[in-house]
Amino acid sequence: MSPEDGSVAGTGEFALIRRITGGRRQPASTLLGPGDDAAVLAAPDGRVVATTDVLVHGVHFRLDWSSPEQVGRKAVAVNLADVAAMGAKPSSVLVGIACPPDTPAQVVAEITDGMWAEAARVGVGVSGGDLVSADQLVLSITALGDLEDREPVTRAGARPGDVLAMAGRLGWAAAGLAVLRRGFRSPVGVVNAQRCPEPPYEAGPQAALAGATAMLDVSDGLLADLAHLADASEVGLDVQTGLLEVSTRLQEVGSALGADPLTWVLTGGEDHALVATFPPFDDLPQGWRKIGVVTMPGSGVTVDGEAYGRPGGWEHWQQ
């Protein structure tokens, strides 16, 4: 292949790396960025929060549904949300991209533009990464975070009587997916929620400062992810539907598609809202709202005090 064909093979690995890293600004916490064998990052707290996700074309995103820039933003957002869910402030992102040789170089460039743009939302940069050849497009993201001298907020600290609260929104990405699967591309706000989530990054450190006892990122569906928190904390959790927000827009989409929007809120994934538990008599931090309570061990995850009878939540190899 020649450089004129516009593919990654025609462009060449190192020319493509220069194209996607050249002229980018790094935050002060990146002491040495792309270009060497490894990046060098500052760790003021002495501890580093680390998380990684792999996104596969056709499983986690589709380029006929999303622009390359939206795909890049989504890939970074799902990882930064995990950092925030530990009560940490994001500090850096590392990127791995695998793709077929005939992938247009412009597509890879636009994906990385989206990655840089989403990282910039929280004041961090892409500190390094790798490009390799593969049979399909795969993105691997590692995000790092700084606890800023706080203890991490894990899934294991909830106590009976605590308040169950959330920050962000739920059900929008699931509604967007339902719209796309029907072959539609509007309403744009709902569809874009599936293409590129908007996690409430600041809410994680705010919850930690406010004394959150447990926290997690909702990636696979509210009830499914709450089951992980309940197991780790050895408690029950009851979601109160009267406290959940089911927006007018979701109700409109649900009516048009013959679907119950509450099901999207309870079981739909990929919004990357944060859910946390707080001591019962403390004020919730700004941006957080109560959605339920922590109950006694053995009661499981319930909805309005009852078991939820519908399946929901994402689990790989089970779909």
Task: Report the chain's C-alpha Rg in angstroms.
Answer: 20
Annotated binding-site residue? 52: yes
Please report, to the nearest 10 degrees, the dihedral formed by the alpha carbons of residues 129, 50, 47, 20 taken in order: 20
Annotated binding-site residue? 183: no
Closest alpha carbon to 122 in 202, 19, 55, 212: 202
Annotated binding-site residue? 228: no
What is d(CA 222, CA 50) in angstroms, rounded to the nearest whole number? 23
Annotated binding-site residue? 91: no
DSSP 191-222: HHHHHS----TTHHHHHHHTT-SEEEEESS-H
Annotated binding-site residue? 146: no
Annotated binding-site residue? 238: no
Annotated binding-site residue? 219: yes
DSSP 247-261: -HHHHHHHHHHT--H
Question: Distance of alpha carbon 258 from its chain centroid, rounded?
Answer: 28
Annotated binding-site residue? 112: no
List Cβ neighbours of 316 (8 Å cut-off, separation of 6 or more).
none
Per the CB < 8 A criterion, the answer to whether 57 and 136 are in contact is: yes
Annotated binding-site residue? 162: no
Annotated binding-site residue? 129: yes
Annotated binding-site residue? 316: no
Residues annotated within a binding site: 37, 51-53, 60, 82, 129-130, 155, 217, 219-220, 270, 314
Residues annotated within a binding site for ATP: 129-130, 155, 219
Residues annotated within a binding site for Mg(2+): 37, 51-53, 82, 130, 217, 220
Residues annotated within a binding site for substrate: 60, 270, 314
